[in-house]
Amino acid sequence: IDGIEEGSHAQMRQACGVPVATSGALMPDAHLGYGLPIGGVLACENAVIPYAVGVDIACRMKLSVLDIPADSIDSKFNLFKESLEGGTRFGVGCEHKIPQSHPVMDQDWTITRVTREKKDRAWKQLGTSGSGNHFAEFGVLSIDEDNRAFGLDAGKYVALMSHSGSRGVGAAVCSTYSDIARSMLPAKYSDLARLAWLDMDGEPGQEYWAAMTLMGDYAAANHDVIHRLVSKLLGAHIVASVENHHNFAWKETHNGKDVIVHRKGATPAAAGALGVIPGSMADPAFVVRGKGNADSLNSASHGAGRAMSRKKAKDRFSWKAVKNDLQKKGVRVLSAGADEVPGAYKDIRAVMAEQADLVEIVARFDPRIVKMCDDGSRPED
């Protein structure tokens, strides 16, 4: 695939050489990560690899369609701006002053020591967006023809889209269990430290799986709260939604074998499954339906993918100039880091063309009002 550096291929080859690995796939937005590349998919037999799930467990997308006219984004800009700024928080360690309510906090957080100890922090961070490439934005969703997946007629709609995950508690779960996995790694596999695995029959493996599953529920709740708060401040109702994880592990069957499929920066794309694949603040996102391609382990890209490092992006681009150019194109950025400029990302249209055999496009989302972290901090999650 064009545009994927050799380092990502090398990481994927190494991952496929892990003793418990059975098969793997690399998505067209792939770039270097820790252990498994971002955009890497790896199937393992009866084992889970914490770093193949990722630091931000259950990082995910959610798009909600709202019951207000598409042209209101311009005519009521200040209201949209205030709802984004009031409905979520950005930055490492950010919290809501008043903890938000959600049934996820009534689940059993005592399943592992780390989830028990981090529950209070998780509660305070519920409904927040973090840093790095996480965002919340309004845009116009275009549906060209009737689509039963949404139950909506053809036309243009206001939609809210968010990208966030399990925040500080998810990072703590990853750190705890990746350290355990590394401590158990036989010396002859020392070069696989970032790919250290946990046997699913062992207690650490079972604990990690329980914690990861809870983090999935928590991340989904996080988006649920964000969308609830933002839409309430806007005075709108949600009429349809689509969402998906893209940092997670699933128990699936491939080639007649039960395996654990890790998708690190990859969208589940089983036949008929709906998902959201974002581009950049200047480019569209797409609602997609999976085609169930066995060669990709029923997966697709999780976005456009970075074309350059954060440092290189900051050195190359003038954020002020980029922001002004975006505004001329109808995209108003409330806040963002200079390392998140559109030029730091691959062309989402080219990425979508590369995976036409993996997903079909159901609808297109064009960003109009974007909110990201602008304090220059690196993601904790």
Enzyme catalytic residues: 302
Q: 60 forms bridges with which residues in the sheet? A: 164, 245
Q: Distance from CA of residue 57 to its chain's centroid? A: 9
Do residues 343 and 322 touch, judged by C-beta distance below 8 A? yes
Do residues 281 and 49 touch, judged by C-beta distance below 8 A? no
Q: Is 285 helix (H, G, I), strand (E, B) or coil?
A: strand
DSSP 119-178: HHHHHHHTT--BSTT-EEEEEEEEESS-BTTTTB-SEEEEEEEEEE--HHHHHHHHHHHH
Distance CA 39, CA 306 (A): 11
Q: Enter the DSSP assignment of 90.
A: B
Helix orientation angle between 203-234 and 77-87, rounded to the nearest 10 degrees: 150
Q: Which two tokens stand for residue 133?
A: 């490439």
Decide: residue 355, CB within 10 A, 0-12 exposed, 13-18 middle, 19+ buried.
buried
